[in-house]
Structure 1
């Protein structure tokens, strides 16, 4: 995977106008790559596979222990409730680690079928794990304000006050457990799938400029060239290819917009801000 100094939207780092207008990839040498070894050694890592299995087991045990029990815990005082948050926090951190690794590996080269499969498999497994944990924030938001305020006087629970405050802001827009579960499980085959289709489509696009056939990012880089003729060539190549894919891009955009409209309507959001 090769990283570049421009965003997908063609926003480049300011450069010296006296510098060479065109530098070939060969002249730049080997470009930097993300080092993901701090997360996992590779997609076949035994540690990663073990973490997925252990997380699934722990999520099931957490559900068995705490589902339907948070109100009683709150009555016992803040310490017991704080302990449940600590366990939830630990699992959330490990879920984030696995998801970050899979997402970054996939983003490094969305054209690699092995990376795409790995990303899809991890998404599916993490969705299964997080579905078991979904009850926790939903049930937490059903706790009575008075009981929670009393429990927050305990120092252990007060440590999590900022997280609790943010979570409680979602309370007015929370749906029934079954609907929340449906929305959660369908996200992987809904907006997630459409986002992935867009990313992989953009990666596969090729743009003809003179005798060269370029991918998206090198073509976007040409828009920053000092030579106006080269910028024009790049602009025409981009608009031509985008135009040929306009129906697909329109479908993706409209589908995602409708998906959000449905979610917002069910939750009662009246203002996107």
Structure 2
């Protein structure tokens, strides 16, 4: 499908441009049967209440049925969620997702005794049982349960938390509807044509070489958000309050500790990230001064910063051409990896282009069964979308290896690890494009792009992480969140991170109220740690031999069988220390130095 200024209806998108969901269910009728099976499977498991510790055989039997239930629930939810994300205005898809979530919440509440009953067993007896080879599919799951034991509540309390799981998503769901369906950004005049401004086309406008177009899009975009500032602030405050409710209900010391504890990530990792980035602000601020000089403007505005340094290179990369770039760039990972990924990108894994009602941005949604699906809003004239394809492909290949090398109950890796596999791929694509640059201008183009990508993934996500931390700490200390408070926090961070080279608009701080990831608390820091680990591992693999590549594949195959810090150590990087963060920032400095010479 070629890019046009007209955004098509979902029904008009060719099948070849959509993902093929038949790897989950061949028909909607199959999905209905699987959905209907969740309730009786849960009812059967209820019969094990107060009996899990009776014998090793009883526990094993119950765990086998428990895994089957949640494997079914996973694909039921994924199928419905993917259909909804493809068109958030499709009421049938909305209904399916709602029914799936209700079935899962009901099963979760009815089976809330399961984990608490296992952790209530004598540790010695339980540890002895799971050494039996018959428990190999469940051993790691139980060991991780025991890690959480101090914060698992009584059966009645766990049931209450499970019952409110669906309502806890209200803030995010309302935000998503508002942002993706109800906010109308109108059109922007581009060369005499009225081009729709949408969540998906936003980034394209900010890369337009005409500064007037960028300014018009920026002012229109944030002007629309500003009209809803109090609603947006209330929604985010509701999400933060929900986080703190769960934190206090379980007895954690802070929301940050709550978010990191399950993965055995020390809170120092989070705080070290922020501190290390702050210590390297001088390079970041120098970058913006160079950027200002390269653009040749008297002032640098927030709508300028997504431009490449060079204005003379036009890029046009078809979807198929982007796939081939990925194939060649990722060649150091071997033929099995590239053939599997590229075949998937071309045949059913991906929903490729924007359509009306489709969720903005991109994601990978892999589960134990079926394809590791990818949502894109691919634009042929946005070179960054090639990087996005490689990024989401990294997630999907991580899922592909994890599901084929682990049992269901411990196949799912953490987000902390996920952002390594994705940004690893981005780094290899950058290296390939830079190596094949034909002119100094093209080289400058890719250098500036990579500097921008590191900045967006390491510096920017750290700024987001700092915003989340400050917001949660304010509420934990007794200060309520309002639009004024949230915008004040965000403006201060903007000024710290961008330095004195930047001139902001009066509503630039509205950016802090439009980031969807903030509704999954303490998520975004993993992008920053992820790119730091990925850059170290990409260097290790491309400059190493078979052993270094196999170490990386051990990491991809480990799934959820190890905690993330341990899994990354096996790959060759220690994220419990600040060293990888500093090395990534040193790499950023090298790129800035080279750009400064070219400018």
TM-score class normalised by the smaller sequence: 0.7 to 0.9
Please list, as runs of the form range in 1=range in 2, the aligned pairs for 1:28-177 lying within 5 A after superposition: 32-42=17-27, 45-64=28-47, 66-73=48-55, 77=56, 79-177=57-155
Q: Report the CA distance between 1:245 and its aligned residue.
A: 1.4
Question: 1:39 & 1:265 partners in 2: Cα distance?
Answer: 38
Q: Is the 8 A contact 1:111 1:200 kept in 2?
A: no
Unmatched tracts of structure 1, length 5 or more: 3-22
The 2-side partners of 1:143 and 1:225 are apart by 62
Mapped pair 1:197 → 2:174 = yes
- Could you say which residue in structure 1 is the equivalent of 2:549? none
Structure 2 contact 185–197 (Cα < 8 Å) conserved: yes
1:231 counterpart SS class: helix
Structure 1 residues 39 and 173: CA distance shift in structure 2, 3 A: same
Kept in 2: contact 1:70–1:139 (CA 8 A): yes
Structure with bigger RCO (C-alpha 8 Å, 6+ apart): 1
The alignment partner of 2:23 has SS state of coil
1:256-271 equivalence runs, <5 A: 256-271=239-254
Residue equivalent to 2:227: 244
> Of the candidates 192, 199, 202, which is equivalent to residue 216 of structure 1?
199
Deviations 1:199-233 (A, max 9, x none): 11111222132344432211232112233222222
Looking at structure 2, the residues matched to 251 and 178 of structure 1 have their Cα atoms a distance apart, in angstroms, of: 30
Contact 1:81 1:157 survives alignment (8 Å): no
The Cα shift of 1:138 comes to 1.7
Deviation at 1:100, TM superposition (A): 0.7
Give the match for residue 4 of structure 2: 24
**CA distance in structure 2 between the partners assigned to 1:71 and 1:186 by the alignment:** 28
Count of residue pairs the alignment pairs up? 244
Distance 1:234 1:200 in 2: 21
SS class of match (1:169): helix
Partner of 1:230: 213
SS of 2:200's equivalent in the other structure is helix
Q: In terms of mean alpha carbon deviation, does 92-101 or 30-39 score higher?
A: 30-39
Q: What does the per-residue CA deviation read over 1:120-145, in whole Å, with 9 as the maximum and x for residues that have no partner?
A: 12211221122222221121111110
Change over 3 Å in CA distance of 1:24–1:48 after alignment to 2: closer
TM-score of the aligned structures, taking structure 1 as reference length: 0.81
Match of 1:8 in 2: none
**Structure-1 separation of matches of 2:13 and 2:44:** 47
- Aligned residues of 2:151 and 2:250 also touching (Cα < 8 A): yes
Q: CA RMSD in A?
A: 2.4
